[in-house]
Amino acid sequence: MTLDVTDSRLLSVLQRRGRISNADLADAVNLSASACHRRVGRLEKDGYICDYVALLDARKMGVGATIFVEITLSTQADEVLEAFERAVRLIPNVLECHLTAGAADYILKVVAESTEDFARIHRQHLARLPGVAKMQSSFALRTVSSTTALPV
């Protein structure tokens, strides 16, 4: 399925206002409510819309520190990569893990309460990940731009 202009507008609005009512969404993209409902259902069925979530305020949740961790593994063997990826998925403070091309093998986005809390996460979890040869952590001082919305 290819996206037309109306599908793109629907996705754009839903990315920013996931709780919008079908009637308001239909008005926003100039569709009837029934046509809007059908299109959104098709976008869900076809996998363009994966899920609906509530985005929480990290500071209010007590995890206001964001740390980016670059990890280099001892080898690129499939079994080491797979073991690392299985283990990193089990760490609740790791919000994102990306296999990368470049100086590091992986980049992790980690949240913590404080530098002391990150030291605990590092000691109890990150340092115990399989195959790790080198780690470098960078603390975010301020978030300049952040979105979950993909360009449509």
Tell me the two tokens of residue 100.
Answer: 């990368």
Task: Tell me where in the chain the CATH 1.10.10.10 domain(s) lie.
Answer: 5-45
| 65-139 placed in CATH 3.40.50.720 | no
pLDDT in tens, 44-99: 999 999 999 999 999 999 999 999 999 999 999 999 999 999 999 999 999 999 99
> Which residues belong to CATH 3.30.70.920 in the chain?
65-139
**Residues contacting residue 49 through CB under 8 Å, at least 6 positions apart:** 11, 14, 40, 43
Closest CA to 40 of 78, 73, 79, 12: 12
pLDDT in tens, 6-58: 999 999 999 999 999 999 999 999 999 999 999 999 999 999 999 999 999 99
Q: What CATH number should be reported for the domain whose range is 5-45? A: 1.10.10.10
Contact criterion met (CB below 8 Å) for 38 and 44:
no
Q: Name the 3-class secondary structure at 22.
A: helix
